[in-house]
């Protein structure tokens, strides 16, 4: 594909739906647990029986206020609900209770980091609304089934300003939102299960153009990687269309991850007129100042704050600190490790190196790690106190991972304790030098890089247990003689 980046720029806005992790639904007492038998978690209110009325689950107000604070936004009081009217079989009332004029969160922003540096993305609003149920088309011959378990589950829809310019920025923004909701413990943010869903509004224009191009909305892209690819695809598609003299149709498109394309779902020309109007069954909600302050007081340390603390408290690099702080569980694990080990830098390296590799291999989360933070801390301590070398530590780590044993137990039973006795190392070195007279001669006649060969031979002779620094020092003095 031709590189158009010189002439064109993309304008991207994201709408992120976050499913809030309340015990009961937004307007009813039914449970929100995932995976129950169809329609076992739908009460009269969720079924929209005649005469039922919604009662707001106040837990969601606290969650929304916390998100507002994390997004540096204003909290609207009063905040009010509206009805969004449309017919759909899994929308039992024929309207969705959402927010229109007075969303609970408005006018915030989020600072993101990409390889090209930092950028501030405006957050237009975040509003509360209820989720719909699900239509099941495969289970019944010639009929569709409807499962209303999800109907009424609380969602926060977070709408960004169209200030995102690249797929990379979009992913950074999305990851940052993900990190925030996980930190606030207001959602599990599981994209695969649909508890975080992303719609991307994308348009392109020639650099320097003032007016925005016609945009498309790509719906329900369910992983970070797919968001990046879908937006990339859509930008390129739109540029190609325009370069070929075609027009962009304002429409909703679906991303197909199998073939990495987007295709039209419905055109906005046939879009519903949602006929929003204030929800008369719920009065506008006044959020008292004390209530907001009370909620604010329960704010945990946020990713940015944690990153800065990791830099100052543990002398980590910005980059390492940022990686660790992005995921709360990872950051917690790191801090647990540092309680046992004394080297934060080494701890960070191990977590992001060996440990992450193993977790990725087996597709586990940090909480499911087979080596606990305590055990990893002990392993790192043994490197620090010279009991084992870093190389041996890697072997031991693998054994810990597969056996669940502690580091000292493995060192003991397998005799892996580092050799640090000068005399013992000397005698091993002497043996190696004597056994390789040719190399010795070459080295002494100027072939410096053979030094590594000798180190290797000594380490091999010690089965990797010799302290590398001592080997280096002693070997150097012996070879120079």
Applying CB under 8 A, the residues found at the interface with other proteins are 44, 47-56, 83, 85, 87, 89, 92-95, 144, 146, 273, 275-277, 280-283
For other proteins, the closer of residues 277 and 319 by Cβ is 277
Per-residue CA distances from 402 to 211, 213, 348, 376, 393 (Å): 59, 55, 22, 14, 14
What's the closest the beta carbon of residue 270 comes to other proteins, in angstroms? Answer: 13
| Of residues 96 and 218, the one with the C-beta less far from other proteins | 96
Q: Which is nearer to other proteins, 283 or 357 (CB)?
A: 283
CB of 271 to other proteins, least distance (A): 10
State which residue, 22 or 462, has the beta carbon closest to other proteins: 22
Least distance in angstroms from the C-beta of 359 to other proteins:
45
Shortest separation between residue 151's beta carbon and other proteins, angstroms: 11
Given the complex with other proteins, which of 100 and 352 has the nearer CB atom? 100
Nearer to other proteins by C-beta: 190 or 250? Answer: 250
| Residue with smaller CB distance to other proteins, 55 or 296 | 55
CA distance 467 to 382: 13
Nearest to 91 by CA among 122, 135, 61: 135
First to last CA, the chain: 62
- The number of helix segments (H) and strand segments (E) in the chain equals 16, 14
Structure tokens at 24: 């009961």
| DSSP secondary structure, 125-137, as one string | EEEEEE---EEE-
Strand, helix or coil for residue 295: helix
Q: What angle do CA 273, 233, 262 make, to 5 degrees?
A: 45
| Closer residue to other proteins, CB minimum distance, 56 or 352 | 56
Nearer to other proteins, 54 or 322 (CB): 54
Work out how close the CB of 62 gets to other proteins at its nearest, in angstroms, rounded to a whole number. 18
Nearer to other proteins, 95 or 226 (CB): 95
Residue 155 β-bridge partners? 19, 129
Q: Is the peptide bond before 78 cis (omega within 30 degrees of 0)?
A: yes
Minimum CB distance to other proteins smaller for 58 or for 209: 58
Q: How far is the CB of 88 from other proteins (least distance, A)?
A: 8
Which residues, 6+ apart, have CB-to-CB distance to 133 below 8 Å?
A: 42, 90, 91, 92, 146, 147, 148, 149, 150, 151
CA distance 292 to 60: 13
**Least spacing, CB of residue 179 vs other proteins, in Å:** 34
- Beta strand 216-221 with 251-256 is parallel
**CB closer to other proteins, 132 vs 239:** 132
Smallest gap from Cβ 13 to other proteins, in A, equals 21
- HSE, side-chain direction, 13 A CA sphere, residue 332: 13
What is the rounded CA–CA span in Å between residue 54 and residue 73?
Answer: 27
Shortest spacing between CB 138 and other proteins, in angstroms: 16
Strand extents, DSSP E, 333-452: none
Instruction: Report CA 350 to chain centroid distance, whole Å.
Output: 20
For the record, the structure tokens of 193 come out as 């299960």
Q: By C-alpha distance, which of 92, 114, 104 is closest to 48?
A: 92
The rounded distance, in Å, linking the Cα atoms of 81 and 130 is 11
Who's near 428: CB < 8 A, 6+ residues apart?
419, 458, 461, 462, 466
Shortest Cβ distance from residue 94 to other proteins (Å)?
2
Report in angstroms the alpha-carbon separations of 62 from 150, 186, 291, 293, 299.
21, 9, 9, 10, 10
Shortest reach from residue 43's CB to other proteins, in Å: 9
Least distance to other proteins from the beta carbon of 50, Å?
Answer: 4
Length of the chain: 481
């Amino acid at each position: 594909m031709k590189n158009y980046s010189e002439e064109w720029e993309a304008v991207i806005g994201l709408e992120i739906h976050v499913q809030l992790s309340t015990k009961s639904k937004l307007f009813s007492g039914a449970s929100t647990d995932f995976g129950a038998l169809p329609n076992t978690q739908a009460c009269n209110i969720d079924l929209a029986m005649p005469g039922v009325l919604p009662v707001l689950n106040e837990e969601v107000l606290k969650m929304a206020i916390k998100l507002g604070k994390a997004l540096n936004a204003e909290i609207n009081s009063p905040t009010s609900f509206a009805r969004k009217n449309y017919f759909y079989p899994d929308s039992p009332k024929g309207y969705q209770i959402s927010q229109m004029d007075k969303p609970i969160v408005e006018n915030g922003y989020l600072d993101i980091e990409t390889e090209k540096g930092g950028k501030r993305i405006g957050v237009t609003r975040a509003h509360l609304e209820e989720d719909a149920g699900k239509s099941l088309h495969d289970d019944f011959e010639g009929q569709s089934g409807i499962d209303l378990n999800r109907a009424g589950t609380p969602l926060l829809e977070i709408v960004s300003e169209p200030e995102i310019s690249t797929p990379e920025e979009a992913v950074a923004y999305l990851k940052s939102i993900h990190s925030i909701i996980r930190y606030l413990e207001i959602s599990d943010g599981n994209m695969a299960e649909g508890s975080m869903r992303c719609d991307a509004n994308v348009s392109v224009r020639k650099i320097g153009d003032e007016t925005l191009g016609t945009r498309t909305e790509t719906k329900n892209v369910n992983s970070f990687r797919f968001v990046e690819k879908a937006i990339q695809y859509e930008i390129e598609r739109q540029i190609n269309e325009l370069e070929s003299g075609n027009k962009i149709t304002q429409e909703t498109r679906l991303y197909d991850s199998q073939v990495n394309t987007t295709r039209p779902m419905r055109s906005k020309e046939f879009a519903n007129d949602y006929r929003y109007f204030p929800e008369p069954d719920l009065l506008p909600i006044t959020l008292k100042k004390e209530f907001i302050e009370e909620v604010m007081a329960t704010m945990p340390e946020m990713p940015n704050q944690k990153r800065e603390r990791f830099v100052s408290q543990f002398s980590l690099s910005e980059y390492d600190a940022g990686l660790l702080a992005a995921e709360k569980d990872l950051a917690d694990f790191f801090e647990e490790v540092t309680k046992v080990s004394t080297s934060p830098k080494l701890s960070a390296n191990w977590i992001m190196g060996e440990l992450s590799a193993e977790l990725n291999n087996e597709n586990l989360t940090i909480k499911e790690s087979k080596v606990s933070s305590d055990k990893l801390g002990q392993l790192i301590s043994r490197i620090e106190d010279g009991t084992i070398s870093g190389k041996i530590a890697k072997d031991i780590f693998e054994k810990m991972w597969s056996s669940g044993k502690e580091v000292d137990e493995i060192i003991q039973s397998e005799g892996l304790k580092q050799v640090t006795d000068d005399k013992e190392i000397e005698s091993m070195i002497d043996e190696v030098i004597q056994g390789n007279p040719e190399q010795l001669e070459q080295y002494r006649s100027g072939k410096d890089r053979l030094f590594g060969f000798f180190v290797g031979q000594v380490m091999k002779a010690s089965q990797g247990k010799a302290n590398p620094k001592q080997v280096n020092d002693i070997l150097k003095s012996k070879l120079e003689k």
